């Protein structure tokens, strides 16, 4: 497995500084979380320029961009857009500069669930179809992620798989979300692999009581059974460690040391 790490490990930093710190600490391949762009004190255009320079110099390699969360969209006042076309247009305008600067292999997106509209699932479908087209035109692909309990129907991996298949996108299996949503993780991975839909994974852990985004092997996820399924299909795709740390930097850097020790095991799909 190609092991990468999300900039959400260093949540208090501007996304560019987080990516460079991760690269200097043994994780040159990263996923950029859009939320971290809002923490760049030099402003978005300058941060995107710094990102472009770091990528072109080979200081960091961007596997994927995690598109804005629902709360980011709400905070930016975009939630009450009248149509999926308008929401998708504004949403794409947020990520397009980073896509152009970082040249990621994929864009990971949450299925937008606007409950206030007459047909929420049709809204989501149209929204994602537009993003899929613009992603392809930018030389990247769209990966739809399964969400947490309480965000039905998209906490159901089977439903997310069906959504992704219907629009010709891939799935990013979020292992922590699946654990919290009481989805059988090995079975979910097997389903996605059998249908050729698994393009990435978010690797993090929890004890089942909340979406805790802990480092792998510090919660209740059945990693051994998941690895067995991935091995049986010869999975060589990416696994992005999506532990989230917004606490004091000393703690987040300790987690980073722990993850560096874990990396060879994840790479070989072995339990430490
Ligand atoms: Zn995730």
For residue 95, pLDDT beyond 90: yes
CA of 87 to the centre of ligand 1 (A): 21
CATH of 2-267, one of 3.40.140.10, 2.40.30.10, 3.20.20.150, 3.40.630.30: 3.20.20.150
CA of 256 to the centre of ligand 1 (A): 18
Check residues 184 and 78 and name the one with the higher pLDDT.
184
For residue 205, pLDDT beyond 90: yes
CA of 41 to the centre of ligand 1 (A): 25
Residue 87 pLDDT grade (very low, low, confident, very high; cuts 50, 70, 90)? confident
Residue 79 pLDDT grade (very low, low, confident, very high; cuts 50, 70, 90)? low
Question: What is the per-residue pLDDT for 80?
Answer: 65
For residue 72, pLDDT beyond 80: no
Question: What is the per-residue pLDDT for 151?
Answer: 82
CA of 174 to the centre of ligand 1 (A): 5
Q: Calculate mean pLDDT across residues 16-32.
A: 97
Q: Calculate mean pLDDT across residues 200-228.
A: 97
Q: Calculate mean pLDDT across residues 69-94.
A: 78
For the chain, the three-class secondary structure string (H helix, E strand, C coil) is CEEEEEHHHHCCCCHHHHHHHHHHCCCCEEEEEHHHHHHCCCCHHHHHHHHHHHHHCCCCEEEEEECCCHHHHHHCCCCCCCCHHHHHHHHHHHHHHHHHHHCCCEEEECCCCCCCCCCHHHHHHHHHHHHHHHHHHCCCEEEEECCCCCCCCCCCHHHHHHHHHHHCCEEEEEHHHHHHCCCCHHHHHHHHHHCCCEEEEEECECCCCCCCCECCCCCCCCHHHHHHHHHHCCCCCEEEECCCCCCCHHHHHHHHHHHHHHHHHHHCCCCC
Instruction: Answer yes or no: pTM beyond 0.85.
Output: yes
Question: What is the per-residue pLDDT for 149?
Answer: 86
CA of 154 to the centre of ligand 1 (A): 13
CA of 242 to the centre of ligand 1 (A): 6
Q: Calculate mean pLDDT across residues 106-114.
A: 88
Residue 188 pLDDT grade (very low, low, confident, very high; cuts 50, 70, 90)? very high
Q: Calculate mean pLDDT across residues 17-29.
A: 97
Domain ranges of the chain: 2-267
Q: Calculate mean pLDDT across residues 227-240.
A: 97
For residue 90, pLDDT beyond 90: no
Check residues 126 and 90 and name the one with the higher pLDDT.
126
């Amino acid at each position: 497995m190609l092991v990468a790490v999300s900039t959400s490990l260093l949540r208090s930093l501007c996304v560019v500084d987080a990516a460079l710190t991760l690269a200097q600490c043994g994780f040159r391949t990263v996923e950029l979380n859009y939320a971290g762009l809002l923490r760049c004190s030099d402003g978005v255009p300058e941060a995107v320029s710094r990102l472009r320079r770091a990528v072109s110099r080979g200081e960091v390699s961007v596997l994927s961009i995690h598109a804005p969360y629902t709360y980011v969209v709400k905070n930016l006042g975009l939630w009450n857009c009248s149509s999926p076309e308008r929401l998708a247009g504004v949403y794409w305008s947020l990520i397009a500069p980073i896509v152009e600067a970082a040249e990621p292999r994929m864009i990971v997106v949450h299925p937008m669930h606007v409950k206030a509209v007459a047909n929420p699932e049709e809204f989501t479908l149209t929204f994602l179809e537009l993003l899929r087209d613009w992603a392809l035109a930018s030389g990247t692909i769209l990966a739809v992620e399964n969400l947490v309990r309480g965000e039905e129907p998209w906490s159901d991996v089977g439903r997310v798989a069906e959504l992704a298949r219907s629009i010709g996108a891939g799935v990013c299996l979020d292992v922590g979300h699946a654990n919290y949503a009481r989805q059988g993780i090995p079975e979910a991975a097997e389903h996605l692999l059998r249908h050729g839909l698994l393009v990435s994974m978010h690797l993090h852990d929890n004890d089942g009581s909340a979406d805790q985004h802990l480092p792998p092997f510090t919660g209740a996820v059945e990693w051994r059974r998941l690895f067995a399924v991935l091995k049986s299909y010869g999975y060589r795709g990416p696994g992005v460690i999506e532990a989230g740390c917004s606490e004091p930097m000393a703690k987040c850097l300790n987690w980073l040391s722990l993850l560096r020790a874990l990396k060879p095991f994840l790479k070989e799909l072995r339990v430490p």
